[in-house]
Amino acid sequence: MVEYLMEAITKLKVIKTKWTIRFETGTEVAVKLGDEVKKDQLLASRTEYEEVSKSLWSCFPGVKTKDINSLKNCLVGMVIEEGRVIGGENGVMGKKVVSTVSGKIEKVDEFERIIIKKNNKKVHQYLAPCQSKVSSIEATSIVLEFRAEEWVGKSIKDGKCWGGGLKAVEKISDLSLNDNGKIILLSIFDGAILTKAEVVGVVGVIVLLSEVLESISDKINTNLPVLALERNDYDRLKSIKNFENRQGLLNVANGRLLLVI
């Protein structure tokens, strides 16, 4: 394990890479092929309405079997309101049932369940993780292309994340809620710092390879992806101008940090 970690990888290069955003069929795409997009720009959105089901028999007790088909035909397509009688003052087929939800009755399924699409909707938005170009649009995906500096290190704790900036952390008090969504650099491998990093919303960690070697016998107790860099690369990364605002993709499984150019 130690020999594996001690392999020196210091090469830095600029690469062109791609990132795929996947979604469900029917999602409305908001961009066109070839568009240049900014970070957090809307790529696509999907509106979903929550569905609930109610037993036909429990809602309309005493209905005769011979009347079930007629009841179904009356219910399907009906708009209902919470606290009001379904079907208006006279009810449905002489039955006055007060609705417990607001929405529209979509169907009555084969199990005699009334399927209701509620009024409250959820909008799922798919945003660009970085400044990039739309290189492909399919029915269930959008592919973004971007240029990035590639920093190669050693995988310590697998995971993948997008970071909205980098921050060097020397002590636990350096961390705050303002670091939510960031990737932090740790010159000292400290469990307490890692714990607080998770609490404040840090998404990834970059450490010094030498620090990991000294702590290799200790259990690394964090859910965050952790990448280790050699001292030269670590110091060079810290010295990048405006690195606290650089967007980056940390893919520890591949041992890489990609900083978007």
Neighbours of 182 (CB within 10 A): 23
Are residues 219 and 150 located together in one domain of the fold?
Answer: yes
Same domain, 102 and 191: no
> 45 lies in a domain?
no
Residues 180 and 248 in one domain: yes
| Residue 59 domain boundaries | 54-119
CATH number, domain of 216, equals 3.50.30.10
Same domain as 225, residue 155: yes
Q: Are residues 8 and 79 in the same domain?
A: no
CA 156, distance to chain mean position in Å, is 23
160 and 83 assigned to the same domain: no
Each residue's pLDDT tens digit in the chain (261 positions)?
Answer: 333 333 333 456 899 999 999 999 889 999 999 999 999 999 999 988 888 999 988 888 888 888 888 999 999 999 999 999 998 888 888 888 999 999 999 999 988 999 999 988 889 999 999 999 999 999 999 999 999 999 999 988 889 999 999 999 999 999 999 999 999 999 887 888 999 999 999 999 999 887 665 555 355 678 899 999 999 999 999 988 888 889 999 999 899 999 998
Same domain, 154 and 95: no
CA distances, 140 to each of 11, 25, 130, 132, 185 (Å): 36, 5, 20, 19, 36
Give residue-wise pLDDT tens across range 194-237. Answer: 999 999 999 999 998 876 655 553 556 788 999 999 999 999 99
Pair 113, 56: CB distance under 8 Å? yes
Q: Give 93-102 pLDDT, tens digit per residue.
A: 888 899 999 9
Phi-psi region of 200 (alpha: psi -120 to 50; beta: other; left: phi over 0): alpha
Number of domains in the chain: 2
Contact predicate 179/201, CB 8 Å = yes
| In a domain? residue 13 | yes
Q: Is 9 a domain residue?
A: yes
Q: Looking at the structure, do residues 81 and 168 belong to the same domain, yes or no?
A: no
CA dist 120 and 191 (Å) reads 43
